[in-house]
Amino acid sequence: MEDESFNKDLHDLFILFKKLVERESEGDIPGVNSEQLKMLMARMDEMKDSFQAQNIQMDPFTKMMITSLVKQLREELGPVTEDDYEPEEESQPQLSSAQEVIKQREELLSDVSDATARNRALVETIDEQLRNPNLSDDEIDALLDKRRQISANL
């Protein structure tokens, strides 16, 4: 039961952090490059998609710190509602295809004007997808073709 509560807190942390960044980016955060912030958010979405809390061993102190942080964010931003969660029927198919993950990442990074940073982030995403041992040969070929195309622009 404690693990379920912590897993919910961990999932809520991603949602609350995204809310915080969206709220703060409206007024531009002094000293923070908005493009770097967009890159961070894209990376956070990527981490959330591939993240499985059950596989990560955390000591009680770390769990306590995360729970405390989530509590503070909830107080500042309000509770996480059902509207904040992505519908399961939409999120499952998106993860089934490595090419879909790459396409989503391209859309997330489309606002980043620094082409080199955007392309590097896409190559990292492709490399991460290529580590999946369940990819078919066709998927691997398509990802490698996409990687070669993006790398040519670097």
d(CA 83, CA 92): 17
Among candidates 93, 97, 153, 96, which has minimal Cα distance to 122?
153
pLDDT digits (tens, 9 = 90+) for 57-96: 678 888 889 889 999 989 988 888 877 766 444 444 333 4
Q: What is the pLDDT of residue 56?
A: 62
Q: What is the pLDDT of residue 25?
A: 64
DSSP state of 33: -
Q: Give residue for tokens 């190559």.
A: 123
- Full-prediction pTM beyond 0.85? no
pLDDT band (50, 70, 90) for residue 134: confident
Q: Long-range contacts made by residues 100-107, C-beta under 8 angstroms, separation at least 24?
A: 101/46, 101/49, 101/125, 101/129, 102/126, 102/129, 102/143, 102/146, 104/45, 105/42, 105/46
Question: Domain ranges in the chain?
Answer: 1-85, 87-154
Percentage of the chain modeled with pLDDT above 70: 75
